Amino acid sequence: MNDGLAALFWGIVTFSLLVVIHEGGHFLAARIFGVKVHEFMVGLPGPAIRFHGKKTSYGVTAVPLGGYVRIAGMEPGPEDPLLAPALASVTRHGSATAFTVATELGIDESRADRLLITLADWDALEADPAEDHTYHSRFDPAEADDPASLLGRARSVTYRALSTPKRIIVLSMGVALNLATAIAVFTFTLSTFGYMKDTGAIGTVAQSSAAERAGLLPGDRITAVNDVRTPDFPRLVDIIARFEPGDSVTITLERGDRSMRVRATLGENPRTGRALLGVTPELVTVRPSVVEAFGLSFSYIAMTFVAITGFFSPETFQASVAQSSSVIGAAYYAAEAARSGPLDYAGMIAVLSLSLGVINILPIPPLDGGKVAIEVIERLRGRPLPRNLSLGLSLSGAILLFALIGYLMFQDVTRLIGG
């Protein structure tokens, strides 16, 4: 299998697995709280191979990228006050169309159609597969005499029936399962196989690099660049990435018992085009206990959060982009990890699961963190945000996220073309 096909295959497998983990969190929380879940699908909405379970349909769509769970009652905005009369109308007659409901309630047909679609999403109505635009009520006609009580029964199995804390749990469980997966994998692999730890000293100095020209040697400890502290190698990489090739910097270092300052003119990384010093860290193998590995896993969450928030700061944006990849790059890394063996692939799953979880924490609609923020705002104001405002916030957030994703994809394609 060539590199491109391998990346495609392992990309689909990897991201499908991540989707199952993330959406599985939402699914489990909704089911625990008694909320109707219509679908649990892997892939983008569209034609699909489906398996119909007792309460939920499961399947894979024609485009197996991403995935979703469709939970009853998650439509934005306040409830239409005519939901109860509309449900009572259909229940009284046994079945109805938007035209008959519109005629009975004295409203336009488009509004009646929206009412019926909402009630079908709540599982109060069932669309007739044999007759277009016809819906059957799931309730006994006698219950139509008390529309408010009838609507309450219909709402009881929806997301809307949940309290704000329970809604936040449903929204957060995808992130929680992503983070739990990453922590479990990291804890096992670190405590079982150990990891390579940065000692703080230089391990190698590349030939003809900026570091060699400045006189840096293996064993030196770089403590600052332009008086900005570099307590570890990741921080050093981050600081260097903020400069441009050809920039001159002052490096403070420790060599034995002496402290020194040298000037270095930064070179260029041929892969990324970013500034390059030309050193690698000195690494030693460390095997922590299970408790220590568990703690280290949480430190990885903090580092990932810092890295991702770097996209939203003008000072760190370019450095964050230079050290990140889109789904294209991640697919190639997944293929390489799979070739290396189960341990490396499990580590890749943990890293991607952690990244997906942390990204979704961000308070940007339509991410889970953004949805949680909207729930909190609605709780404080005592009523839902207007539907158009909710949709507008989600659209704005989606544009921002897709712009970033597009930029990262362009960067990955450029890297691949450049070898």
Residue 346 lies in a domain: yes
How many domains would you assign to the chain?
4
For residue 211, what are its two tokens? 């570091």
- CA nearest to 86, candidates 76, 77, 98: 98
User: Does the pLDDT of residue 1 top 60, yes or no?
Assistant: no
Residues 175 and 233 in one domain: no
Residues 332 and 294 in one domain: yes
Q: How far is CA 378 from CA 91, 162, 167, in A?
A: 32, 14, 12
- Calpha distance 143→104 (Å, rounded): 18
Choose the weakest-confidence range: 29-43, 64-78, 398-412.
398-412
- Sequence-distant (6+) residues with CB within 8 A of 330 are 11, 14, 15, 352
Q: Is 194 left (phi over 0), alpha (psi -120 to 50) or beta?
A: left
Residues 10 and 135 in one domain: no
- Calpha distance 192→287 (Å, rounded): 7
Quote the pLDDT of residue 274: 84
- Domain with 64, as residue range(s), is 3-71
Residue 242 lies in a domain: yes
Residues 229 and 301 in one domain: no
Residues 174 and 317 in one domain: yes
Contacts 24+ apart (CB under 8 A), 376-380: 376/164, 376/168, 378/164, 379/164
Residue 76 lies in a domain: no
Residues 189 and 240 in one domain: no
Residue 78 lies in a domain: no
Q: What is the CATH number of the domain that holds 138?
A: 1.10.10
Contacts 24+ apart (CB under 8 A), 129-132: none
Q: Please report the DSSP string for 232-248 in residue order.
A: SHHHHHHHHHTS-TT-E
Residue 173 lies in a domain: yes
- Please write the tens of the pLDDT for every residue from 166-189: 999 999 999 999 999 999 999 999
- CA nearest to 213, candidates 249, 255, 256: 249
pTM for this predicted structure:
0.81
- Calpha distance 345→342 (Å, rounded): 5
Residue 77 lies in a domain: no
Residue 360 lies in a domain: yes
Residues 405 and 328 in one domain: yes
3-state secondary structure of 279: strand
Residues 319 and 382 in one domain: yes
User: Does the pLDDT of residue 21 top 80, yes or no?
Assistant: yes
- Pairing mode of beta strands 248-255, 258-265: antiparallel
Residues 187 and 201 in one domain: no
Residue 293 lies in a domain: yes
- Please write the tens of the pLDDT for every residue from 40-80: 999 888 888 999 888 899 999 988 778 899 999 999 999 99
- Please write the tens of the pLDDT for every residue from 279-326: 999 999 889 999 999 999 988 888 888 888 888 777 777 777 777 778
- Calpha distance 112→108 (Å, rounded): 7
Sign of torsion, CA 161 162 168 171? negative
3-state secondary structure of 361: helix
- CA nearest to 362, candidates 179, 175, 184, 182: 175
Quote the pLDDT of residue 418: 63
Residues 267 and 321 in one domain: no
- Provide, rounded to the nearest whole percent, the portion of the chain with pLDDT above 70: 99
- Calpha distance 341→337 (Å, rounded): 7
Residues 339 and 419 in one domain: yes
Q: What is the CATH number of the domain that holds 256?
A: 2.30.42.10
- Calpha distance 18→126 (Å, rounded): 32
Residues 98 and 129 in one domain: yes
- Calpha distance 344→195 (Å, rounded): 12
